[in-house]
Amino acid sequence: MQNGNLNTIWDILGTVPDPEIPVISVVELGVIRNVEFIENEYVISVTPTYSGCPAVKTFQDDIKTQLKANNINNFKIKIVYKPAWTTNWMTKKTKKKLKEYGISPPEDIAQCPQCNSTNIELISEFGATACKSLYKCSDCLEPFEHFKCI
Amino acid sequence: MQDLEKYILRIADSTLIISHRLSEWCSKGPTLEEDIALANISLDLLGRANALLEYSAKINGNKTANDLAFRRDDREFYNFQLCEQENGHFGDTIIRQFLYDCFSLLFFQELSKSKDETLSAISIKSLKEIKYHLRHTHNWVIRLGDGTETSNQKIQESLNKIWKFTGEFFETDDVDKKIIENKIGVDNKKLKKDWDSLVDKVLTEAKLKKPEDKDMITGSKEGIHTGLLENILSEMQCLPRAYPDAKW
Ligand SMILES: [Zn+2]
């Protein structure tokens, strides 16, 4: 398929998982900003989540691999910085998936994904990945990660 | 070198070098959480440095971001000398980072208004991250300053030692002037007042005494450095130096 069917591209991108949180796709994460067909080439605009997120390089490679696996070779990936990525781009459905996976989704108030308690304690603003902070639930005592709002 | 290329390179170099310094804490942090925090901040800075180096390289036309990071000598680096100072003990690192974060907040707020779209976009992105970097170092300055007698004394010494390097934040030369005239760059001189009051507020809360501005160090705009930069580069560039044709 070499013609300009943009929906097909979006569908393929929807199957590329976030390298660090595999229950959501790169589309759900909100990093795919645009797909265009310009002069016989798909141009996929991607924005980084955090400036230094090591996953940025990985998901570019994953996107390339997945498109090629679907016989799409006429594409290029363009990095865009504007507008800056925000967690507001995540849909309710995506946030629900995060919660089911055990990560408190990016809402103003973190909530224990195990018992829904908001009686919680911040352990560190910095977690195992740039996008998450660490909390502990004071009710069920489980530690959990919260997706930071930016 | 074009003025804009050099202007961006200077911002990129400070970001890259302080990022590298912070990365040296990886696996040596005082607690696991703090180790992760410093590594995270270092990574944000590295990402910002990369975006700036790529932009500077693009203006140059013949170089890549990697060429700029790995194929220049210390005299061709323009980072603030504050950024290359040693990590020392944890308090030394926190004070260095806190003073730089305060500067970065004010600087990138202004740069986000730049007529240059790429610089403005990188600044807006960076500001989101600088805000939580500063929150982190600000909290530590208060905790250590208003902590025990020993922690107060130690971090006061850290502050006294590094203060002479903060003058470079507010210097402008002919390159800056041209970029400021074109409404692309920031007039750093104008940031000094706000920076002083931002820093004062935290130092007072932390029961620390602000050192006087005297015998301030200068020279980085001309590529002059303390010998420490060469130590960083010999580690950071060791692979490309040993294997010039190596590929990622
Ligand atoms: Zn709980």
**Residue B122, in any domain of the structure:** yes
Residue of chain B minimizing CA distance to A81: B121
B95/A contact by beta carbon, under 8 A: no
Residues of chain B with Cβ-Cβ distance to A83 below 8 Å are 124
pLDDT band with cut points at 50, 70 and 90 for residue B91: very high
Say what the pLDDT of residue A109 is: 84
Tell me how close the Cα of A148 comes to any Cα of chain B, in angstroms. 11
Residue A124: burial class (beta carbons within 10 Å; 0-12, 13-18, 19+)? middle
- The CB-side HSE value for B137 (13 A sphere, CA atoms) comes to 29
Let me know: does A46 contact A32? Beta carbons within 8 Å. yes
Domain that holds residue B115: 3-242
CATH number for position B238: 1.20.1260.10
Could you give the CA distance from residue B98 to residue B138 in angstroms, rounded to a whole number?
Answer: 6
Angle formed at CA A40 by CA A36 and CA A43, multiple of 5 degrees: 30
Place of tokens 């990095």: A79
Say what the pLDDT of residue B247 is: 82
Could you give the percent of chain A with pLDDT greater than 70? 97
Residue A82 and residue B136: Cβ atoms within 8 Å?
no
Let me know: does A96 contact A22? Beta carbons within 8 Å. no
The pair of three-digit structure tokens given for residue A35, joined into one six-digit string: 């797909």
Could you give the CA distance from residue B168 to residue B226 in angstroms, rounded to a whole number?
Answer: 13
ipTM of the complex: 0.81
Could you give the CA distance from residue B45 to residue B39 in angstroms, rounded to a whole number?
Answer: 10
Torsion on CA atoms B230, B236, B239, B242, rounded to nearest 10: 0
pLDDT of residue A2 exceeding 70, the answer is no
Instruction: Say whether A42 sits in a helix, a strand or coil.
Output: strand
How does pLDDT run across B96-106, given as a tens digit for each residue?
Answer: 999 999 999 99
**CA dihedral (B232, B236, B237, B242) positive or negative:** positive
Tally of structural domains, chain B: 1
Say what the pLDDT of residue A107 is: 85
Residue B136 and residue A54: Cβ atoms within 8 Å?
no
pLDDT of residue B63 exceeding 90, the answer is yes
8-state DSSP, B76: G
Length of chain B: 248
Picking from A50, A85, A124, the nearest residue to B36 by CB comes out as A124
Enumerate the CATH 3.30.300.130 domain ranges in chain A, comma separated: 6-85
Average pLDDT of B103-110? 98
The mean pLDDT value of chain B amounts to 96
Cα of A102 from ligand 1 centre, angstroms: 11
Picking from B40, B43, B122, the nearest residue to A81 by CB comes out as B122
Average pLDDT of B30-54? 94
Say what the pLDDT of residue A64 is: 95
Place of tokens 């230094």: A52
Residues of chain B with Cβ-Cβ distance to A50 below 8 Å are 43-44, 47, 129
Testing the interface with B: which of A58, A60, A125, A133 to mutate, by most B Cβ within 10 A?
A: A125
CATH level 3 topology of A6-85: GMP Synthetase; Chain A, domain 3 (3.30.300)
The pair of three-digit structure tokens given for residue B85, joined into one six-digit string: 């100072």
Near ion ligand 1, which residues have CB within 5 Å?
A: A 112, 114-115, 117, 137, 139-140
8-state DSSP, A46: E
Residues of chain B with Cβ-Cβ distance to A126 below 8 Å are 33, 36-37, 40-41, 136
State the count of interchain CB pairs (< 8 A) between A and B: 70
How does pLDDT run across A8-42, given as a tens digit for each residue?
Answer: 999 999 999 998 889 999 999 999 999 999 999 99
Say what the pLDDT of residue B151 is: 97
Cα of A110 from ligand 1 centre, angstroms: 11
Picking from A48, A125, A134, the nearest residue to B47 by CB comes out as A48
The pair of three-digit structure tokens given for residue B79, joined into one six-digit string: 């980072």
8-state DSSP, A25: B
Residue of chain B minimizing CA distance to A127: B36
How does pLDDT run across B153-192, given as a tens digit for each residue?
Answer: 999 999 999 999 999 999 999 999 999 999 999 999 999 9
**Residue B248, in any domain of the structure:** no
Let me know: does A72 contact A9? Beta carbons within 8 Å. yes
Could you give the percent of chain B with pLDDT greater than 70? 100
The pair of three-digit structure tokens given for residue A71, joined into one six-digit string: 């016989």
Q: Which residues pair with A41 in a beta bridge?
A: A38
Residue B51 and residue A51: Cβ atoms within 8 Å?
yes
pLDDT of residue B248 exceeding 80, the answer is no
Average pLDDT of B195-211? 98
What's the whole-model pTM score?
A: 0.91
Residue A50 and residue B47: Cβ atoms within 8 Å?
yes
Q: Which residues pair with A43 in a beta bridge?
A: A36, A76
Tell me how close the Cα of A138 comes to any Cα of chain B, in angstroms. 19
**Residue B247, in any domain of the structure:** no
| Residue A55 burial (CB count, 10 A) | 21
SS (H, E, C) A78-147: EECCCCCCCHHHCCHHHHHHHHHHCEECCCCCCCCCCCCCCCEEEEECCCCCCCEEEEEECCCCCEEEEE
pLDDT band with cut points at 50, 70 and 90 for residue A3: low
Let me know: does A132 contact A138? Beta carbons within 8 Å. no
- Of B4, B84, B97, B99, nearest to B52 by C-alpha is B4
B45/A contact by beta carbon, under 8 A: yes
Residues of chain A with Cβ-Cβ distance to B118 below 8 Å are 81
Tell me how close the Cα of A45 comes to any Cα of chain B, in angstroms. 15
